[in-house]
Amino acid sequence: GATLVNQELSESVMLRAVAVIDSALEASKMALNASIIIIVAMFGVIVAGMYVKRKRYTFLSKHKFTIKLA
């Protein structure tokens, strides 16, 4: 019966290893998704900031007299 016990042990170990690998892959996938989201968000913020800045510059050049008053 020793061989059967060993076989069961190795099977449970393999199953556990597979489960660990699976969860690790899932975690890394989530981390990758999170980093992609963060990168996209940062890029969006930068683009939005540039757009707003350009808008403000055109706004300022259009309304130079109001700036002189202020």
**60 CB contacts (<8 Å, ≥6 apart)?**
67
Give pLDDT tens digits along the chain (70 positions).
Answer: 667 788 888 999 999 999 999 999 999 999 999 999 999 999 999 999 888 888 777 766 666 655 565 5
pTM over 0.75: no
pLDDT of residue 13: 93
pLDDT of residue 38: 95
- Backbone φ, ψ for residue 30 (5° rounding): -65, -40
State how many domains the chain has.
1
**What span, in angstroms and rounded, lies between the C-alpha atoms of 12 and 4?**
12
Domain that holds residue 48: 2-69
Helices (H), the chain: 2-62, 64-69
